[in-house]
Chains A and B, each alone.
Chain A
Amino acid sequence: MNILVCIKQVPDMEGKFVPNEAGSWFDEAGLAWKMNEYDAFAVEEAVRLKEQLGGGARVTALSIGPARAVETIRKALAMGCDDGVHIDDPDAPQRDPWQIASMIAGFAAGRGFDLIFTGMQSEDRGSAQVGVLVAEQLGLSSVTGITAFEWLDGSMTVESELEGGRKYRLRLKPPVLLTCQPGLNTPRYPTLPNIMKSKRAALAVLSQESVSLDSPKVLSANFRPHEPNAAGVILEGDVDTLASQVLDLLEAKGFISTQGGVR
């Protein structure tokens, strides 16, 4: 069993985002980096499947990005992936989903992956396109937003999430691409020995020029903060004063009654 996991390094979303000079995306200065949360579920599921299958499975973690992406590949190795591949592309953050998918598909074509796991979307771009586009380009079946995965005797049963907590239950056989949704599993914390081992592991580094790359299909501009509620009030200060201010507001709105009930 030959498994590929596609991972992206994204900023910590708690960070402060400032537009870059072109206004097309964010300036990277001052941001902290981590593995895209959705991709952590993909890595965990791939590693669990490898563990279930024993010696016959191998997991490759692939990331496209600038030099900093290496840290995220090492994290995937520390979580239990066997091989790390870095497509070294300083321009990756600016590329659209179509381009990223063309690079992944170009890498995966002919390498005989039975299963490809990706996150359902990235936390920063949030386009939810790359996984499906890779599958379409490779001619693979794909299921999006899986929240359960079970491997038994050469086929897998997955659950794909719908609105309102409903799920489809589906059975399929490799080769297939699955995009992973939070709730699928609980990604493990790597152990210290595995972290140390991952730091020494050799990564395969491919230049951007060595993989296929399509032209972009969209242009991004005017990267900006969302508009806060114009009528909203921001309160801050010491906790007791704040609590009393908030209570006054709730009382004025009629949410607190002296009878001990709430309207």
Chain B
Amino acid sequence: MKLLLVGEVRDGRITTETAELFGFAARLKAEVSMALVGNVGEFPAFSGRLYRANGGNEYDATFHKRLVLDAVERERPDAVVFLHSSLGWDIAPRVAFAMQAAQVSGVVGLDDGGYVVESCNGKMRRTVRPLTSRAVLTIQPGAFAPVATEGTPELIAIEAEPDSAIEFLGCIQPERGIDLTRAGVIVSAGRGLGSADRVELVRALADALGGEVGASRPVVDAGWLERARQVGSSGQSVSPSLYVACGISGAIQHLAGMKGSGFVLAVNTDRDAPITSVADVLAVADLAEFLPALTAAIRTRR
């Protein structure tokens, strides 16, 4: 099997997740080549062809698509593999459409010649098989362990016309101020809390445990907590020794941001919630009752 991996460059560097593409290829024992778009000084170590183009604008989806298609044309891979990232979900369907190829999104595993993907917000899984001879895949960050590769790639320049339909105005950096990445204990609020005033219960538990308050995306989107507290792929990636998920169902984007946690306590009424795939303990309980009870118990025992 021949795979064309689409690596990612951000801030002049190859992203760490790019190594997961090699991890995926290793699982399939595939022959690999890579397409890499962006201004970068160093390249991944591997034996194979590296199709290279310096980026035009930081964002130009059509340009990026055309470059990948140029590499596809020269390499003729069985599958083109993206990360299921903002870049992957933006570009992969464009490439799939141009190739008239099947796309399988968010691959988390392999199953008897098919690809395992998540469904129903991560609660369920299914196996998807392409019906076309060539396929486009996006693999879920965190699902395939990166592997160390070696060798010196053969560099091949790829070219395409930039696209002028969309004007790139710039990149906005996130507001920072709360650094959760070094916190030893994080107690995170999820939508399951039900209302903004119950965030106080999360704060009280975090205080009792000497930890920081985190949040899932819906809680931040609803304005219950500031965006700087968001844990997940569109927020911060954290690795506390204790992570308490309060009413967080565990969408894959959230799990991606907290999978480095040492011990995970989940509090949820839904025993099938995907958070149970990473939880060391699931307490099946109503948060409004359980959180004050646990907070009080900690304070009493001290």
Contacts and interface: CB of A to CB of B under 8 A. Distances in A.
A168 interface: yes
B68 interface: no
Given A247-B301, A262-B210, A217 B102 contact: yes
B283 A242 contact: yes
A170 B166 contact: yes
A243 B293 contact: yes
Contact of B294 (A231, A234, A247): A247
Contacts, number: 274
A159 B172 contact: yes
A163 interface: yes
Given A97-B103, A124-B119, A167 B172 contact: yes
Interface residues of A, number: 86
A17 B221 CA distance: 27
Contacts of A232: 276, 279-282
Interface stretch (A54-62, A68-76, A197-205, A253-261): A253-261
Interface in A117-172: 120-121, 123-129, 132-133, 136-137, 141-145, 157, 159-172
A160 B59 contact: yes
A112 interface: no
Contacts of A143: 61, 90, 166
B105 interface: yes
Interface residues of B, number: 96
A14 interface: yes
A9 to B, nearest CB: 14
B284 A236 contact: yes
Given A125-B119, A126-B118, A256-B298, A144 B169 contact: no
B209 interface: yes
A121 B251 CA distance: 13
Given A133-B97, A173-B165, A232-B280, 18 more contacts: A17-B123, A17-B272, A97-B103, A163-B85, A163-B86, A171-B167, A183-B217, A218-B128, A218-B129, A218-B130, A222-B111, A228-B277, A232-B282, A234-B284, A244-B297, A255-B209, A256-B302, A262-B211
7 contacts: A128-B106, A132-B90, A217-B131, A224-B124, A246-B265, A250-B242, A263-B184
Interface of B: 58-59, 61-62, 84-86, 89-90, 92-94, 96-98, 101-106, 111, 114, 117-132, 165-175, 184-185, 209-211, 217-218, 220-222, 227, 230, 233-237, 241-242, 249, 263, 265, 270-272, 274, 276-286, 289-290, 293-294, 296-298, 301-302
